[in-house]
Amino acid sequence: MISGFVFRALEGRIVVAVGILLGIGILVPALNLLTPPDSALHIPTYAMSLFGKYLCYALLALALDLVWGYCGILSLGHGAFFALGGYAMGMYLMRQIGSRGVYGNPILPDFMVFLNWKELPWFWHGFDWFVFAMVMVLVVPGLLAFVFGWFAFRSRVNGVYLSIITQAMTYALLLAFFRNDMGFGGNNGLTDFKDILGFSVQADGTRAVLFFMSALMLSLCLILASAIVRSKFGKVLVGVRDAESRVRFLGFRVENIKLFTFVVSAMMAGIAGALFVPQVGIINPGEFAPANSIEVVVWTAVGGRGTLIGPIIGAILVNGGKSFFTGAFPEIWLFALGALFICVTLFLPRGIVGTIQHGFRSRKAYKAAAEAEKGRDAQPSVAQAAE
């Protein structure tokens, strides 16, 4: 049963993509660690961390594709799940600082000392333990998605209304996390991390492992997503996207189907956020900005929604472009992004991978039709009777 579920996931394209991702995950850190800095093959640490960040964004886009591309839920709040996963990781990293902070308090992070707090708030307990923090990386975004989805899907909020309330959700969290008395570092967020599991977050070796973990988690989530969409459940999911009432009248509980997918997707986004934070060295409320969630939609659309691999490519390309533009011509990046979205919507509505796949499929259909035509000439009676 389970093996069938996993086996189905490993369709050709997915195997190739996972192979490439894992190859990159090993090759890049190897070139960073094993080649001398003056070698032509050397990849500097900043570049590795930058690309590691793209891999986290790719995982976020993959998560969005599961709900948007396959289930038709256009979430404009996926950045919130990403940020929550990031905060869970950030809290662990803060607790690891110990007495090495500016104020030297062995328990309280600097910002709490600064606020004159005397003890650790209850929700910070346990975060000094890595396993607990990693569970929270999944549980916190998952729980928010569950509660949100429970109400939204049960009351059948759909389409643009759902998109608007997801946007409101991330905006509300943005405002909440800005407040100092929330206990998450307010405006400045969480930063000045020292080490993770005892290894310095600045060290090349740690960066290399984090990079590999990003590639690995992206691969595993890609396999999971592929297993989901290729199962009967995945076919139901597409049914919900294309003809929700048909699915209901066939006896499926659409609200449960959406809820499950939304929660799985939020957890993937949480993992992405957790891997992002140690590589960029900071998490602040800016990650909840509504515009961030909208950017994820752009990456997904550019790569091709409903293709799983497309959003990964889209996230890497668009963010690569962003790094280039913001370096070379910072003032035009937002215009370039806007223009890109408009062009994709107008000229490439299926996105990059979607367009290639569609072209391939039509060619196959054309060939099949030609074959059928030949078959019909050979035995006209059967085929025509069946028509």
Partner 1 sequence: MNTISETRKKSLLYLDNVCVAFDGFKAINSLSFVIEPGELRAVIGPNGAGKTTMMDIITGKTRPDTGTVLFEDTIDLTKKDEADIAQLGIGRKFQKPTVFESHTVWDNLELALNRSRGVFATLFYTLSPEDKSRIEEILETIRMTHRKDEYAANLSHGQKQWLEIGMLLAQEPKLLLVDEPVAGMTDAETAETAVLLKEIAKTRSVVVVEHDMGFIRELGVKVTCLAEGSVLAEGSIDFVSNDPKVIENYLGR
Contact 241, 71 (CB under 8 A): yes
> To the nearest whole angstrom, how small is the minimum distance from the Cβ of residue 380 to partner 1?
13
Which residue type occupies 26? Answer: I
Residues between 81 and 110 with contacts to partner 1, criterion CB under 8 A: none
For partner 1, the binding residue among 37, 198, 251, 327 (CB under 8 A) is 251
* Token representation of residue 224: 């999971």
Short-list 262, 305, 237, CA closest to 78: 262
Three-state DSSP state, 288:
helix
The stretch near partner 1 (CB under 8 A) out of 115-123, 139-147, 225-233, 325-333 is 225-233
Residues between 348 and 377 with contacts to partner 1, criterion CB under 8 A: 365
Which residue type occupies 222? Answer: L
Q: Report CA-CA distances (Å) from 211 to 19, 104, 343.
A: 16, 31, 32
For partner 1, the binding residue among 133, 174, 217, 254 (CB under 8 A) is 254
For partner 1, the binding residue among 84, 228, 271, 283 (CB under 8 A) is 228
For partner 1, the binding residue among 180, 191, 231, 323 (CB under 8 A) is 231
Q: Report CA-CA distances (Å) from 238 to 4, 228, 318.
A: 20, 11, 26
For partner 1, the binding residue among 100, 125, 179, 246 (CB under 8 A) is 246
Where b means 16+ CB within 10 Å and e means fewer, 273-303 reads: bbbbbbbeebbbbbbbbbebbbbbbbbbbbb
The stretch near partner 1 (CB under 8 A) out of 183-191, 256-264, 312-320, 330-338 is 256-264
233 binds partner 1 (CB under 8 A): yes
Lay out the site mask for partner 1 across 3-42 (x = CB under 8 A, - = otherwise).
-xx-------------------------------------
The stretch near partner 1 (CB under 8 A) out of 55-63, 172-180, 244-252, 286-294 is 244-252
253 binds partner 1 (CB under 8 A): yes
> To the nearest whole angstrom, how small is the minimum distance from the Cβ of residue 357 to partner 1?
12
386 binds partner 1 (CB under 8 A): yes
257 binds partner 1 (CB under 8 A): yes
The angle that helices 290-303 and 309-328 make with each other, rounded to 10 degrees, is 120
Q: Compare residues 263 and 283 and give the one whose CB is closer to partner 1.
A: 263
For partner 1, the binding residue among 236, 336, 340, 356 (CB under 8 A) is 236
Burial class (CB in 10 A: 0-12, 13-18, 19+), 9: buried
383 binds partner 1 (CB under 8 A): yes
Contact 302, 61 (CB under 8 A): no
Other CB atoms within 10 A of residue 247 CB: 19
> To the nearest whole angstrom, how small is the minimum distance from the Cβ of residue 218 to partner 1?
21
> To the nearest whole angstrom, how small is the minimum distance from the Cβ of residue 272 to partner 1?
23
The stretch near partner 1 (CB under 8 A) out of 196-204, 240-248, 320-328, 329-337 is 240-248
Residues between 35 and 64 with contacts to partner 1, criterion CB under 8 A: none
For partner 1, the binding residue among 245, 327, 377, 378 (CB under 8 A) is 245
> To the nearest whole angstrom, how small is the minimum distance from the Cβ of residue 158 to partner 1?
15
* Token representation of residue 226: 């592929």
Short-list 256, 286, 269, CA closest to 218: 269
Burial class (CB in 10 A: 0-12, 13-18, 19+), 95: buried
Q: Compare residues 125 and 361 and give the one whose CB is closer to partner 1.
A: 361
260 binds partner 1 (CB under 8 A): yes
* Token representation of residue 104: 């030297």
Q: Compare residues 157 and 182 and give the one whose CB is closer to partner 1.
A: 157
Own/partner pairs, 21-30, CB within 8 angstroms, 24+ separation: 21/55, 21/215, 21/218, 21/219, 21/222, 21/312, 22/215, 22/216, 22/219, 24/215, 25/211, 25/212, 25/214, 25/215, 25/216, 25/219, 26/212, 26/215, 28/211, 29/207, 29/208, 29/209, 29/211, 29/212
For partner 1, the binding residue among 146, 171, 252, 333 (CB under 8 A) is 252
> What does the binding site for partner 1 look like in residue numbers (CB under 8 A)?
1-2, 4-5, 228, 231-233, 235-236, 238-239, 242-243, 245-246, 248-254, 256-257, 260, 365, 383, 386
